[in-house]
Chains A and B, each alone.
Chain A
Amino acid sequence: MNVLRRRRAGESVFGVLLLLFSVLAFVQAYRISGFSSISSAGVFPMAAAGAMVLSAAAVIAGNRRMRPPTDHGGAESVARRFFTDVAPPAVLAFIALVVLYMLTLDWLGFVVGSGLFLFGGITLLHRRGLVSGLLISAASLAAIYVVFRLVFSVVLPAGRLFQ
């Protein structure tokens, strides 16, 4: 007999969010041209969104058959499990750094933005001290700049702050 795996913390909520997103997508697809003709511009988007709605519903049904994320149940222990297994603090901190980097890259420019991100990221993940983080990030930044900007002539963000 197959033993179903344990549901991951937050998996049920994620399934419901996917279903909601799919339903919204279907409504938007319907608005393109409705059911006016079987060769209209909205037919295929509706078919894709319809497939998403059905499969998201099947995913939710599958989730319900799985064993719960924790033996004790309770929203609090599931939330704790979510921040241990799916989005632990270290991952969340790094994601925050990535979001900050990508949102400010156009403003700070490649050299400053990537330099700060590499220093922050390497210091956070590699954990060998500030000096080591600074040296590794500087060397990496120089290597990327030489290879992509100077050798391959790739256009890098100049940064609006310094223009």
Chain B
Amino acid sequence: MTDALSYFAMGWLDPWLLMLTAAGTFAGIYIGAIPGLSVTMAVSVLISFTFTWPVNDALALMAGIYMGGVYGGSRTAILLNIPGAPSAIATALDGYPLAKRGEAGIAIGISTVVSVIGGFVGILALAVAAPAISDFALMFAPRDYLLLAIMGILLVGSLSGESLAKGVFSGALGVLIGMVGLDPMTAEQRFTFGSVNLLGGIPYVAAMIGFFGVSEALVQLHTLHMPAIKQQVSRIVPSWKLVKRFLPLSLRSSALGVIIGALPGTGGDIAALMAYDQARRTVKNPTRPFGEGAYEGLVAPESANNAAVGGAYIPMLTLGIPGDAVTAVIIGALFIHGLKPGPMLMIETPHLFWYTVGNLTLANIFLLIFGLTGIRFFTRIVECPKGILLPLILVLSAVGTYAIQNNPVDIYWMLGFGLFGYFLKMYGFEVGPVILGIILGPLMDVSYRRAVISVEDSFPAFLWDLVSNPLTAALTLALAALLLAQTPVASLWKRRR
């Protein structure tokens, strides 16, 4: 316990780490607030600069950016009706009508406070649940990891894309990219075309920066000259009475956010939309009708999306399976720092877990401070023209990719993925599943083959294993339900009901 506390406080007592967490949170808020600059883009571009840093420094910065970025999107959703990040889509539904009524200041204040409440609920869940899940995860067989990973890719593909087919394609493409190089079990060459450069695989950070940095920047060119709408913001700090009134809803939505965030493949955006929907169905007397400026429509998604941050860290740290696209990028960073997220991480390096919990808590406190101050400075930054911002992002993307191995070939990979990602996005494909596929592909491959080898290469025995063990059977059932929910059978059944 004393050890855990000392690890928890490590980031609080070291001025440099404290500064990095604060800087990450600050940068996250502002990057998340700029429409088109997602938190995934920020994390993937910025982590490339941290590979030479000590792991604690890199983790401190990442925790801040993630926490700040998820919250930052709400600002422009309220002020401009443009969600700065996907997790703020639901926030705009009632946030912007509030701003139009001249209540932008209070709306921002409330969203800040409930985001912080949600953040604390998520962190608490992480601190309590992760050690227990980690112990439980030691019982997981390779087949269970395989099922969890497939579920993660399918969830992110089906929930956030235009169609299941496009989600599956993106996820499978990511898996294929993750397969390039030497097979980890037999050292056979896969998709190397005889090139020595491909033996080590495709650098996944180049893929991440290409898909999230370059392609997003290119897509933003289509909205280059969108006029900025300026809003008057007066008082920000909400009254205690108001906070007290929305506290039960905030806690309820936070609990939902933690659960959604902890599901492999689903993140803050899905959590926020589900919490909004849940609030609309359960709140009897909202301040105003939903969609016309109800504070409840702001409280629910903002609590849930920040609670999902702590939730997303749970499968990442305990199972090595990313909760969403941002945690997929963070897992990539942990690999490069020589760490292997999964149940053994909690046993071999418990200090890292408690250090992360401490950092997230610290980032949440900074979120409250930065969220309730500096609104004038904020409006200036958000008004920074995209004509300046986009070339800068591309320079940072190129430099960040080069910094990983000082190899110009990585930049060409990044460029190729960026251009491909641009067309994928233009035609309605999500790039999140690609990244999840790249990270989860090798895990799925090894898990599947270990599972099959354990039954002496007998496919019927492998299939029997999927339904005979209670834990595996539950996961198989969940996966089958997920697949079935995407078929016409499910919609037919819903219509009949």
Footprint of B on A, CB under 8 Å?
Answer: 8, 10-11, 14-15, 18, 22, 25, 28-29, 32-33, 37-45, 48-49, 51-52, 54-56, 58-59, 62, 86, 88, 90-91, 94-95, 98-99, 101-103, 105-106, 110, 114, 117-118, 121-122, 125-127, 136-137, 140, 144, 148, 152-157
Contacts and interface: CB of A to CB of B under 8 A. Distances in A.
Interface stretch (B240-248, B309-317, B447-455): B447-455
Interface string B408-430: 10011011001100110011100
Contacts of A101: 394, 398
B49 A144 contact: no
Nearest to B168: A55
A51 B402 contact: no
B217 to A, nearest CB: 9
A11 B176 CA distance: 23
Interface of B: 49, 52-53, 163, 165-166, 168-169, 171-173, 175-176, 179, 183, 185-186, 188-191, 214, 218, 221-222, 224, 385-388, 390-392, 394-396, 398-399, 402-403, 406, 408, 411-412, 414-415, 418-419, 422-423, 426-428, 437, 441, 444-445, 448-449, 452-453, 457, 459, 462
Ranked nearest first, the 8 interchain pairs of A and B with the lowest CB-CB distance are A121-B391, A126-B387, A125-B387, A106-B408, A58-B165, A51-B172, A55-B169, A41-B183
A42 B386 CA distance: 45
**Chain B CB within 10 Å, residue with most, of A39, A40, A122, A137:** A39
Contacts of B385: 126
A114 B411 CA distance: 14
6 contacts: A39-B453, A48-B176, A55-B169, A62-B163, A90-B224, A136-B388
A25 B176 CA distance: 8
B199 to A, nearest CB: 14
Contacts of A15: 427
Contact of B165 (A25, A55, A136, A144): A55
A102 B396 contact: no
Contacts of A18: 169
A125 B390 contact: yes
B278 to A, nearest CB: 25
A126 to B, nearest CB: 3
A118 B452 contact: no
A153 B403 CA distance: 10
Given A45-B190, A55-B166, A156-B402, A39 B457 contact: yes
A40 to B, nearest CB: 8
B218 A91 contact: yes
Given A44-B179, A106-B411, A114-B399, A59 B190 contact: no
Given A38-B457, A52-B173, A114-B399, 6 more contacts: A29-B190, A32-B189, A48-B437, A55-B172, A105-B398, A144-B399
Given A25-B176, A49-B176, A117-B391, A102 B415 contact: yes
B394 A105 contact: no
A144 B395 contact: yes
Nearest to B446: A44
B441 A102 contact: no
A153 B191 contact: no
Contacts of A14: 423, 427
Contacts of B176: 25, 29, 45, 48-49, 52
Contacts of B448: 39, 43-44
B166 A59 contact: yes
Contacts of A155: 402-403, 406
Nearest to B390: A125
A15 B394 CA distance: 28
Nearest to A94: B221
A56 B169 contact: yes
Contacts of A144: 392, 395-396, 399
Contacts of B392: 118, 140, 144
Given A11-B427, A102-B411, A44 B452 contact: no
Contacts of B399: 110, 114, 144, 148, 154, 156-157
Contacts of B169: 18, 22, 51-52, 55-56, 59
A157 B414 CA distance: 16
A54 B415 CA distance: 27
B459 A38 contact: yes
A151 B177 CA distance: 34
Contacts of A43: 448-449
Contacts of B214: 98
Contacts of A8: 426-428
B133 to A, nearest CB: 26
Contacts of A140: 388, 392, 395
A52 B441 CA distance: 14
Contacts of A86: 423, 426
A56 B444 CA distance: 22
A117 B394 contact: yes
Contacts of A103: 412, 415
B190 A42 contact: yes
Given A38-B459, A41-B188, A42-B190, A122 B412 contact: no
Given A102-B415, A106-B408, A127 B426 contact: no
Contacts of B163: 58-59, 62
A126 B388 contact: yes
Nearest to B451: A39
A65 to B, nearest CB: 11
Nearest to A58: B165
A154 B186 contact: no
**Chain A CB within 10 Å, residue with most, of B399, B406, B415, B459:** B399
Given A49-B172, A91-B221, A105 B408 contact: yes
A121 B165 contact: no
B221 A118 contact: no
Nearest to A12: B427
A101 B402 CA distance: 13
